[in-house]
A = this chain, B = another copy of it.
Amino acid sequence: MTTPQEYDPYVQGCPSRALLDRIGDRWTVLVIGILADGPQRFSQLRRRVDGVSQKMLTQTLRGLEADGLVTRTVYAEVPPRVEYELTALGHSLRVPLLALEDWAREHMDEVLGSRQRVAERV
C-alpha cells in the first residue's frame, strides 16, 4: 500500500481484466441492456435475449449478481416468480455500454464494408 496501486488491464492478473472478461461474453452485455428497461422475470429475459440457452442465462445472471450489478428477488408464490433488476452499480455500467452500442450503430456499415472487401480479396 506504499505505492497507490492503479488497476492496469495490460498487466496479467490485474483484477480489471476480470471486468473485461465479464463484459467480454456476449450475454452479459445483452442482459444488462434488457434489464435497463426495468425488472424482468427469468422467462422474459430468456425470450428477449434471442438465442441464449437456459444454462447460459442462469450462469450470466449469477455472475452479474456476484458482481453486485443485479439483484435477484424471489416472490413466495405458486408458480414461483423471480425478478432480476439492475442495481445502481449496474445502471452506472449502462452508460459506457450505451456509448459502445451507439458506436456500433454508427459505424457498423464501415466495419462490414471492410470485412466484405477483405473476404472478396479485393
Report which A residues bind B (CB closer than 8 A): 6-7, 9-12, 15-21, 23-26, 29-30, 33-34, 48-51, 65-69, 89, 92-93, 95-97, 99-105, 107-108, 110-115, 118
Contact = CB atoms under 8 A, between A and B. Distances in A.
A111 B24 contact: no
B34 A26 contact: no
A10 B33 contact: yes
Contact of A23 (B7, B48, B100): B100
8 contacts: A6-B105, A9-B29, A15-B108, A16-B101, A19-B111, A21-B26, A24-B26, A99-B99
A19 B104 contact: yes
A37 to B, nearest CB: 11
Given A15-B108, A16-B108, A92 B103 contact: yes
Contact of A66 (B97, B104, B114): B114
Contacts of A105: 6-7, 16
Contacts of A16: 101, 104-105, 108
